[in-house]
Amino acid sequence: MNLTLFGKPYAVADGSSAGDLIKSVSPDDLKKYYAVRLADGSLKDVFAPLTADGEVTPLSFEDEDGRKVYRHSCSHLLAMAVKSLYPEAKLAIGPAIENGFYYDFDLPQPFSPEDLPKIEKEMERIARKSIRPRRYTLPRAEAIALMEQRGEPYKVQLIQDLPEGEVLSFYEMGDFVDLCVGPHLPNLSYLKAFKLTQIAGAYWRGDEHNKMLCRVYGTCFPQKEQLEAYLTQLEEAKKRDHRKLGRELDLFDIRDEGPGFPFFYPKGMVLRNVLEDYWREIHRKAGYEEIKTPIMLNRALWERSGHWEKYRENMYTTKIDEVDFAIKPMNCPGGILVYERRLWSYRDLPCRSGEMGLVHRHEKSGALHGLMRVRCFTQDDAHIFMTPEQIKGEIKGVYDLINTVYTQFGFPYSVELSTRPENSIGTDAMWQLATEGLQGALDELGVKYTINEGDGAFYGPKIDFHLRDVLGRTWQCGTIQLDMNLPERFDLNYTGPDGEKHRPVMIHRVVFGSIERFIGILTEHFGGAFPTWLAPVQVKILTITDRSDDAAKELKALLLADGLRPELDLRNEKIGFKVREAQMMKIPYMFVLGDREAADKTVTIRNRKGDNLGTFPFAEAVAMVKKLNDERTLD
Query: Which residue ranges make up each domain of the chain?
Result: 2-60, 65-238, 263-293+329-525, 539-630
The segments of the chain whose pLDDT lies below 70 read: none
Q: What is the pTM of this model?
A: 0.81
Superfamily of domain 65-238: Threonyl-trna Synthetase; Chain A, domain 2 (3.30.980.10)
Q: Is 31 considered catalytic here?
A: no
Dist CA 289 CA 28 (whole Å): 63
Closest residue by Cα to residue 64 from 82, 86, 85, 43? 43
Structure letter (DSSP) for residue 5: E
Amino acid 165: pLDDT: 83
Q: Write down the catalytic residue from 65, 104, 380, 381.
A: 381
| Tally of CB atoms within 10 A around 608 | 19
Phi and psi at 170, nearest 5°, equal -130, 155
Q: Which of 37, 307, 383, 509 is catalytic?
A: 383
Active site includes 140?
A: no
Q: Across-strand partners of 359?
A: 377
DSSP three-state, residue 321: coil
Q: Residue 427 has what pLDDT?
A: 83
From the list 332, 351, 376, 477, the catalytic residue is 332
Number of neighbouring beta carbons within 10 Å of residue 226: 14
Cα 529 to Cα 77, 92, 332, 508, 525, distances in angstroms? 41, 43, 35, 33, 9
Does domain 539-630 fall under CATH 3.20.20.140? My reply is no
Q: What is the edge-to-edge ordering of all strands in the sheet holding 376-386?
A: 289-290, 351-360, 376-386, 505-510, 474-483, 462-468, 413-418, 449-452
What is the rounded CA–CA span in Å between residue 606 and residue 608? Answer: 7
d(CA 483, CA 399): 16
- Choosing from 44, 242, 267, 361, the catalytic residue is 361
Contact of 365 with 201, CB cutoff 8 Å = no
Active-site annotation holder among 37, 45, 214, 379: 379
**CATH, range 2-60:** 3.10.20.30
Structural contact between residues 488 and 430, judged by C-beta atoms closer than 8 angstroms:
yes
Q: Which listed residue (83, 375, 462, 525) is catalytic?
A: 462
pLDDT confidence of residue 210: 93
Give CA–CA dist 389/379, Å, rounded: 28
82 by DSSP, 3-state: which?
helix
288-302, pLDDT tens digit by residue? 999 999 999 999 999
**Predicted local distance difference test score (pLDDT) of residue 310:** 84
Q: Is 11 left (phi over 0), alpha (psi -120 to 50) or beta?
A: beta
Asked whether this chain's domains 65-238 and 263-293+329-525 adopt the same fold, the reply is no
Which one from 508, 525, 565, 578 is the annotated catalytic residue?
508
According to DSSP, the β-strands at 505-510 and 323-327 are: unpaired
Query: Terminus-to-terminus CA distance in the chain, angstroms?
Result: 62
**Helix %, strand %, coil % for the chain, to 5?**
40, 30, 35
CA distances from residue 405 to 154, 371, 479, 528 in whole angstroms, order as listed: 48, 20, 13, 19
Q: Is 242 a catalytic residue?
A: no
Homologous superfamily in CATH for domain 263-293+329-525: Bira Bifunctional Protein; Domain 2 (3.30.930.10)
CB of 568 within 8 A of CB of 552? yes
